[in-house]
Each structure stands twice: as structure tokens, then as C-alpha cells.
Amino acid sequence: MRSEAGRVGRPGADGGGNDSGDEEYGLPPNEDDLAAAGSSTAKPAAPQRDTPPELEASEAGASLAGPASDPAPPGAGESESDSPDTGDDDMSAERGGGAEGRRTRAGGAEQLWAATALTMSEPAEFIAAVPALLGFRPQRSLVACLLLRSQKYPGAVYLGAVARHDLDVAGCGAWVRLAAQLAAICGQEQAVGVVALIVDDRATAPQAGRAGRRAARHRDLVRVLDGALQGQDVLLAEAWAVAEITPGADWWSVLDTGSTGTQADPAASPVALAQVLDGRPIRGSRTELTAAVAENTPLRIQVDAVIGNAAEAARQRFRRALRAGEPRSYSRAALDMVLWQISTVESGDELDPRELADLAVAVRDTAVRDSLFAVALGVHAAAAEALWSRACRGLTGPDRAELATLFGYSAYTRGDGPLAGVAFEAALQADPAHRIARLLDAALRTGMRPGDVRKLAVSGRDIAAGLGVDLVIAEPGEPETR
């Protein structure tokens, strides 16, 4: 983050300092504003920048494309609807562990790319690691983990993608579709095997050689999964079941009723310890994830009361910038204001509703919004993420979608896929046509790794540079050979 964004003084409307804090930031210009500026500036050039690379739908899922050739002028957020379907029956991409990330999606499938160094000599070790791999303790879920062949140690395998899906789904075809999608990911990742875990509080362990409750249902599910995996020459190495993941509780094999055991403590799992040391929380349930983007009604009412004034103030600032022949200065000042807000949050202060309204209106300028993707890979990412979370909880409609998308992208790039999935879902509920949210969500669901979406941050840095703002992002490291 550039030094000007510190708390020495709040950026002013025209790019200078304004210590009073009275200046508001808001809505970017519309076509009437452009025309009102006179013949010499009625059609000012858009900021000389590249638009962020977009994730384009393809038969294989989503891929990164280069900058678009026709950059848009400052304006409202994108609302195109030509992005891939995001139905909840789809297998979703999650990532976790080390430099890789993980993902979750409410009511649908979730998948993470763990690529951890976890070794499993006993089922209890794997079961104990699942909450850390997912970022929360799953309930009524199917968890499927890919086994990848180690290039470093011949004959050894390591944990790759980890997928979670709700057990209770509508229609008998849902499991067939899920199994087919998981099998496709196995082929994409060149998996050699899969281990599965069913978490179902209605199930019981087998007793004296007799199957427990819901055993037949679980076997049918595993049979569907095994059939799809065989089509990719992937072995279903084992399938276990538990009523819940908790130390001392039973685990048992779905394939062999004689194979049972006692669970280890998830908190003592090496993967859990690594997560804690890395500053990644392990939530008690998926509900804790959704709290980060849940609407805060009192805050929303307060922001709604002042956002109109923020928008009008922004129009006035843009018109002044046009009259001065420097339309780009509007975007630069708005971006400086948002960076100042991030610095404020980092210092421990909380922004008031008027400042959140300023933020919401500022990111309606696509140059500002696109630049802010770069913050996810900078040293101020944590503070920015906290700001995006609070702001989206107090906003509605497209404004909420913009902040939720920034929040989700930040979580995605740092490896918190479950949180990213929840954020993208919130964005799409607020604005179903939000193109970037849909494309990022599709990328996450189809297995795109966090490193593969870094181009969005790199492009954001370049856009900010075009506005005269320097944003420093971390360079990617070399992948570890396993």
C-alpha cells in the first residue's frame, strides 16, 4: 500500500489531503456528467489501464484470460450474466493447506486443494484432520479426498483435493452428478485413489457384526461414487463413516463392517496445528462462515440513510475533475480514500456508516474496484478483508455484491476456500448477474487453484499504477515438489 494512504491525512476530493474528514466519496460519473463537462471533455478517454483478466467459461470449467481490449470508463459495477451456471449440485473447488487453498459453498459441493504433507497410517488420523482441511467441522456431509502420487517419494501418495457435499440432496440423480464431477476432477488432478468420509449424526456404528442405522443408504452412496471413479481408473481406497467428528467417538468402515475404531482428537492433528500457526481459524460449524457476510440490519439501515448523499457528493467531485481536464483524478482520489480506510481499520478503528457509504460508492468506479483486487496480495490484506466483510454486511444489491466479491477474492487467494465460497454466494444472491463473482465462483467450484487467479491482483496493481497509486503485491513462490 502506498505511503500516502496512511493516517497522516485523509485524501481530498481532488487528490490532495483533507484533514477535516468532511469530504465524502461516492458514485462515479454517468453519461450525463460526461456531456455536461463541455465539448472538450464530453468524451474523455477512459483511464489508461488494462481491465482485470476475466475468468472465462469453457467446457473444462474456467480459465484465466488476458486483459480485455476495450477498457470501460469509471462507472457502476459489472452486471453481465454470460457466466457459467452456479447450481448447487455442482462439485465446488476448495483449497487448503500450505500455499494452496480451499473452498466451500452453501447447500452444494465444496472442494479444497490441500496438497498437504499429511501421512495416514490409521483412519483416525485422517478423520481428525478433516476439520482443519475444510476449515470447519462438517455435519451431514460426504467428504472425499484425492490421493496423488508423490514425485519425490516413489510409491508414496499424498492428500490432494478434498471435497465436501451435503448428504441430504433432492433427487436420486444428484449423487450421480456429484460422483461424475468428482471423477472428472480426479482425472484432471491425475489422482490414483480416493478416500471418503461420511458424517451423519443419524448413523450408528455396527455392533457384533450387524450393520448400524443408515448403513444401507451409505453403501448405496459409496457404490455410486465407486462406479464413477472406476470410469477414470481411480481406486476408491476406503470409505469411513462417523456420527460426528469428535475425540473418542466411533468410526467405522462402510465397506467392511468389521473395521471400526476410535477417533483421535482433531485439535491435536498436525494439520490443525499448522492451520493455527498459519493464522487460519477452524470453525465449529459452517454457520460460523456465513456470519462473516450475514446482513447486519441496523448497520444497513444506517448506511442506507446516507448513501444517497455520498453518491451525490461523488458526482460533484467527478464533475469538478472533468472541468479541470483531469477525469482520472477522481478515480485516484477515490482509491486513495479506500486505502486510507484500510489503514484506519488496521490501526484498530472502526469506520462509521457514512464512511462505509463512501466506500460502497467509491467501488462503483470500476477502476477503483479493479485496483482493489491487488490489495489481497499485499501486506494490508487482513485489514482490507475485515473492511470488505463489515461493509458488505451493511449493504444491499450491487453494492453488497461488489464488497462480497472483494472479500471472497481475498479469502480465495490466501487459501480460505470455504469462506470464499460463502462470500461469492452472498455476492450472487445480492446481484445474480455480477460477472466477476460468478466467474470466480465457477473457478473455485471447478478446481482452479488460488495461484491461478493471481492475475486478477496483478492486473489490479497495473490499473492502480495507471492512476498514479503504487500497490505492492507478493510474488508467487515456487511450488513444492511432493
Contacts of 263 by beta carbon, 8 Å cutoff, 6+ apart: 124, 127, 128, 242, 245, 246, 247, 248, 249, 250, 251
pLDDT score, position 118: 53
Q: Is 464 exposed, middle or buried (0-12, 13-18, 19+ CB in 10 A)?
A: buried
Distances (CA, A) of 130 to 110, 282, 305, 444: 13, 10, 44, 19
Q: Report how far residue 232's alpha carbon sits from residue 192's, in angstroms, rounded to the nearest whole number.
A: 9
Rounded to 5 degrees, what are φ and ψ at 160? Answer: -105, -120
474 near 215, Cβ under 8 Å? Answer: no
112 near 161, Cβ under 8 Å? Answer: yes
Q: Report how far residue 84's alpha carbon sits from residue 58's, in angstroms, rounded to the nearest whole number.
A: 8
Buried b / exposed e over 205-227, threshold 16 CB at 10 Å, is bbeeeebbebbeebbebbebbbe
Pairing mode, strands 157-166 and 55-58: unpaired
Pairing mode, strands 55-58 and 61-64: antiparallel
Which SS3 state, helix, strand or coil, does residue 225 take? helix
360 near 395, Cβ under 8 Å? Answer: yes
pLDDT score, position 98: 31
323 near 269, Cβ under 8 Å? Answer: no
Q: Where are the beta strands (DSSP E) in 318-400?
A: none
pLDDT score, position 279: 66
Q: Report how far residue 110's alpha carbon sits from residue 412's, in angstroms, rounded to the nearest whole number.
A: 13
Pairing mode, strands 157-166 and 235-242: unpaired
List average pLDDT for each run of 10 residues in the chain, which is 482 residues long: 32 37 33 35 33 29 31 37 34 34 39 49 86 88 90 82 81 83 85 94 88 90 94 93 95 90 89 73 81 96 98 96 94 98 96 98 97 97 97 98 98 87 96 97 84 93 97 66 49
pLDDT score, position 110: 56
Length of the chain: 482
215 near 256, Cβ under 8 Å? Answer: no
pLDDT score, position 168: 84
The residue extents of the domains of the chain are 123-283, 290-467
